[in-house]
Amino acid sequence: MNKHLTYRTGNPVLTTNAFSTTSVSSETMTIRGTVDKTFLSLMLLMVTGYYSFMYGQITMGLVIIPAIIALIVAFITIRNKHWSPITVPIYAALQGLSLGGFSYYFNSLYDGIVLSAISITISILLAMLMVYRSGLIKPTENFKLGIAAATGGIFIVYIINFIMSFFGSQLGIMNVQNASLMSIGFSLFVIVVAALSLVVDFDFIEEGAEKGAPKYMEWFGAFGLLVTLIWLYIEILRLLAKLRSR
């Protein structure tokens, strides 16, 4: 019996039809292969991120331009999953450049905050993997619906804040210098949702392997995990900045 109820996740990348594809190749997706691709993507992101952090001059272009190009590459990847072996490494490298500049800015405000954020992100990743493998949290249908709904609500808040930024304003809960209980509570909520999304992503990838998805879907699965991990890291960085500003 299939223990996975649906392909539903809160991840905008790993959609319900992500694995509904065919391949003429005899090679199929495996969990080990996806882990390897995820590791390679993270290493590439860290290399370009380290370069951007250590040697790049902090400018808005250093953060925004690679992020915009990465977003375009992400859309291309979603629409053309068989290009994943090419587009995902490019996406990881671009995101590394953007996150390096982003991290440099936060570290200039609060020294050591980046190392703390990276450590916490890795710890949460390993913890969620252990929780998933042990079965302590089961990604049931209701669980997946809850994560999807929470992610959608958070995305709406992001959109509202983005629109307000054009008018020189922003939501108070999104301000990294706002250390109010509501602002910190919102960041904690987002981090919990992002962490639980990892559990759903693990389940999604496991089902893809069980269904015999094409080999290139290992890269696409790694792409989905990368999106969640980047989201998680950014929110942890924002939370630490709020706590440091108190």
Q: What is the pLDDT of residues 96-155, one digit of tens each?
A: 999 988 898 888 888 889 999 999 999 999 999 998 888 888 878 888 899 999 999 999
Query: Residue 17: pLDDT above 80?
Result: no
Q: Which amino acid is at 191?
A: I
Q: What band does 5 get if pLDDT is binned at 50, 70 and 90?
A: very low
- CA separation for the pair 23, 216 (Å, rounded): 9
What is the mean predicted confidence (pLDDT) over 18-28? 58
β-bridge partners, 214 = 28
What is the mean predicted confidence (pLDDT) over 16-33? 66
Among all chains, which residue has been given the structure tokens 């915009």?
Answer: 68
Query: Residue 21: pLDDT above 60?
Result: no
β-bridge partners, 28 = 214
Helix (H, G, I), strand (E, B) or coil at 214: strand
Q: What is the pTM assigned to this prediction? A: 0.85
Query: Residue 6: pLDDT above 50?
Result: no
Let me know: does 230 contact 222? Beta carbons within 8 Å: no
Q: What is the pLDDT of residues 26-65, one digit of tens each?
A: 678 888 889 999 999 999 999 999 888 887 655 666 778 8
Helix (H, G, I), strand (E, B) or coil at 28: strand
| Residue 5 DSSP one-character state | -
Angle at the Cα of 105 (from 102 to 107), degrees rounded to 5?
110
pLDDT, the chain, mean: 85
* pLDDT at res. 11: 59
